[in-house]
């Protein structure tokens, strides 16, 4: 009956068999269906709230066309709606991912799986693919949101949606691999959950902690999960954040592969982990050297007009900007959003210095230079209190002795819409939850 020779022949499709088995396990897990029901309700609530607020703002905007320019469905509808996904990805998705490895460890299935003709890489890959399927299933409410918004006559700029989805996909991927790693290195499911939440919620909490520290903030936004997601929510696709997200996800996935096999000696696991961390640092440092950005917003919100961009890219000497503003000052926030960020993505050699500390909003009010921004290029210096692009760019061009071509207007059109989603409550609070409950019952009976 059995072959007495080494079992070297792999049955065809062993990876597929294990994947099907993994998906079966997930379909029988109440946690999956509970998550999908909660996602439906949360996404539905966020969407209807966003539509209501957008409609109210649109009523005013329709009377005053200049206000309409700020009415963007991307930031008004889709970003807040996907905020519900952020909650679910942070608080619910890790539990499903932890379960996919943790339960196998707990009930002993893992001891059999590691003996099948699959490498730990393949085994973890199968589990990751199954979890990606879970994430795709969780997008069903998002698809309905898009359909409902479109059917209500709403405007959709697809590159913006693509950017937002990419950000959430990468965030979810990172959370999934982090949770898988947590489940691999801990002995109990609650410990793994705490480990995972400490990383995701910790990242969110630290966002607040560094918000008053301008120098730290710039660095932190490049490594914080929420900070990186925010860039995608702004419609800005950046190579730095793309690579950072992917490399963090890959790092935790590789950690999971390394630590999954119970028979490997711990010293070797630690050594491999250390090598991976070095590789991770090198990849990210390399990406920081030559960042690339693609502005996917409809109105090119994150870019200067093309003529100005071309002129700024010609600055071959370092441009130094020294800012005397408190980190919490709203003028600094506007300056960063409207000018500094764009300059950092355009000017080849830009240095930004802050001369104020972190002592608070009113601490520098007696400083007569407070609010002053100094621009230095090729030993020439100019100062200004302005934080407006229209006043700052001429200063820089003057210092550099460049006269750019006249820029064409880049002003946004705006897409105000007064609407309501009459069937929203039935769809998101009743039909979708019932649909998921029915599917859960079906799989429980037939799997």
Partner 1 sequence: MNQLTVSGISKSIGNSQLLTDVSFSPIPGEILGLIGPNGAGKTTLLEAMAGLVPVDSGTIKISDTPIALSSRKKYIWYQPDDIQPYAQQRVSTTLTFFCQSFGQDESTLEYLMQNLDLTPVLAKKFQELSKGYCRRVLLTIALLSRQPLLLLDEPFDGFDLRQTLSVMNLLRKTRAGRTFILSIHQLTEAERICDRFLLLAEGKVLAFGTLSELRGHVNRPETATLEDIFLAIA
- Taking CB under 8 A as the rule, does residue 1 contact partner 1? yes
Please choose, from the candidates 86, 82, 103, the residue with its C-alpha nearest in 3D space to the C-alpha of residue 31: 103
- Out of 107, 366, 379, 409, point to the residue binding partner 1 (CB under 8 A): 107
- Taking CB under 8 A as the rule, does residue 445 contact partner 1? no
Residues 6+ apart with CB under 8 A from 179: 93, 94, 95, 97, 98, 192, 196
The four Cα atoms 107, 113, 114, 120 give a dihedral, to 10 degrees, of -110
Q: Which is nearer to partner 1, 184 or 387 (CB)?
A: 184
Binding to partner 1 in span 13-32, by CB under 8 A: 14, 17-18, 21, 24-25, 28-29
- Taking CB under 8 A as the rule, does residue 264 contact partner 1? yes
Tokens at residue 161, please? Answer: 């949606």
Please choose, from the candidates 396, 355, 393, the residue with its C-alpha nearest in 3D space to the C-alpha of residue 378: 396
Environment class of residue 85 by beta-carbon count within 10 Å: exposed (0-12), middle (13-18) or buried (19+)? buried
Neighbours of 106 (CB within 10 A): 14
- Out of 263, 289, 290, 409, point to the residue binding partner 1 (CB under 8 A): 263
The C-alpha atoms of residue 405 and residue 410 are separated, in whole angstroms, by 14
- Taking CB under 8 A as the rule, does residue 143 contact partner 1? no
Q: What is the closest distance, in whole angstroms, from the C-beta atom of residue 104 to partner 1 in the complex?
A: 9
Q: Which is nearer to partner 1, 23 or 91 (CB)?
A: 23
- Taking CB under 8 A as the rule, does residue 75 contact partner 1? no
Q: Is the CB of residue 355 less than 8 Å from the CB of residue 409?
A: no
Q: Between 109 and 138, how does the x/- string for binding to partner 1 read (CB under 8 A)?
A: x-xx-xxxx-x-------------------
Q: Which is nearer to partner 1, 273 or 386 (CB)?
A: 273
Please choose, from the candidates 192, 172, 193, 194, the residue with its C-alpha nearest in 3D space to the C-alpha of residue 248: 172
Tokens at residue 317, please? Answer: 């000497």
Please choose, from the candidates 44, 57, 47, 36, the residue with its C-alpha nearest in 3D space to the C-alpha of residue 79: 47
**Measured in whole angstroms, how far is the alpha carbon of residue 217 from the centre of its chain?**
16
Q: Which is nearer to partner 1, 230 or 261 (CB)?
A: 261
Q: What is the closest distance, in whole angstroms, from the C-beta atom of residue 185 to partner 1 in the complex?
A: 15
Q: Which is nearer to partner 1, 31 or 395 (CB)?
A: 31
Residues 6+ apart with CB under 8 A from 272: 258
- Taking CB under 8 A as the rule, does residue 266 contact partner 1? yes
- Taking CB under 8 A as the rule, does residue 441 contact partner 1? no
Q: Which is nearer to partner 1, 17 or 201 (CB)?
A: 17
End-to-end CA distance of the chain: 29
- Taking CB under 8 A as the rule, does residue 265 contact partner 1? yes
Say how many CA atoms lie within 13 Å of 28 toward its Cβ: 12
Q: What is the closest distance, in whole angstroms, from the C-beta atom of residue 123 to partner 1 in the complex?
A: 12
Binding to partner 1 in span 27-56, by CB under 8 A: 28-29
Q: Which is nearer to partner 1, 86 or 436 (CB)?
A: 436
- Out of 65, 70, 202, 262, point to the residue binding partner 1 (CB under 8 A): 262
Size of the site for partner 1 (CB under 8 A): 36
**Interface with partner 1 (CB under 8 A):** 1-11, 14, 17-18, 21, 24-25, 28-29, 107-109, 111-112, 114-117, 119, 261-266, 447
């Amino acid at each position: 009956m059995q072959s007495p020779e080494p079992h070297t022949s792999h049955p065809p499709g062993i990876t597929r068999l294990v994947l099907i088995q993994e998906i079966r396990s997930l379909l029988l897990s109440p946690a999956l269906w509970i998550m999908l029901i909660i996602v439906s309700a949360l996404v539905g609530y966020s969407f209807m709230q966003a539509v209501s607020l957008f409609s109210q703002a649109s009523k005013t905007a329709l009377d005053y066309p200049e206000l309409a320019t700020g009415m963007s469905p991307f930031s008004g509808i889709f970003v807040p709606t996907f905020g519900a996904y952020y909650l679910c990805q942070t608080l619910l998705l890790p539990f499903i991912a932890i379960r996919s490895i943790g339960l196998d460890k707990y009930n002993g299935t893992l001891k059999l799986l590691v003996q099948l003709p699959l490498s730990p890489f393949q085994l973890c890959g199968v589990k990751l693919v199954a979890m990606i399927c879970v994430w795709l299933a969780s997008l069903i409410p998002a698809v309905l949101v898009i359909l409902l918004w479109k059917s209500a006559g709403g405007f959709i700029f697809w590159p913006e949606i693509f950017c937002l989805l990419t950000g959430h996909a990468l965030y979810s991927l990172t959370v999934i691999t982090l949770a898988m790693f947590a489940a691999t290195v801990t002995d109990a499911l609650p410990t793994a959950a705490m480990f995972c939440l400490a990383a995701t919620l910790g990242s969110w909490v630290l966002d607040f902690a560094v918000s008053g520290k301008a120098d730290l903030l710039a660095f932190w936004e490049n490594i914080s999960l929420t900070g990186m997601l925010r860039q995608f929510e702004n419609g800005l696709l950046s190579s730095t954040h793309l690579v950072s997200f992917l490399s963090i996800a890959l790092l935790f996935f590789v950690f999971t592969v390394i630590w999954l096999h119970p028979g490997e000696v711990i010293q070797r696991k630690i050594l491999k982990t250390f090598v991976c961390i070095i590789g991770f640092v090198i990849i990210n440092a390399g990406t920081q050297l030559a960042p690339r950005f693609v502005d996917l917003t409809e109105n090119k919100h994150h870019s200067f007009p093309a003529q100005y961009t071309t002129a700024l890219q010609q600055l071959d000497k370092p441009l130094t900007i020294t800012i005397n503003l408190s980190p919490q000052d709203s003028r600094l926030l506007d300056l960063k959003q409207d000018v500094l960020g764009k300059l950092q993505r355009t000017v080849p050699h830009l240095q930004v210095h802050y001369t104020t500390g972190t002592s608070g909003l009113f601490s520098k009010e007696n400083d007569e230079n407070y609010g002053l921004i100094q621009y230095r290029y090729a030993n020439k210096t100019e100062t200004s209190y302005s934080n407006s692009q229209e006043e700052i760019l001429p200063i820089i061009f003057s210092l550099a002795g460049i006269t750019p071509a006249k820029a064409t207007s880049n002003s946004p059109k705006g897409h105000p819409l007064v609407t309501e989603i009459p069937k929203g409550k039935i769809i998101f609070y009743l039909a979708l939850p019932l649909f998921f409950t029915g599917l859960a019952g079906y799989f429980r009976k037939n799997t």
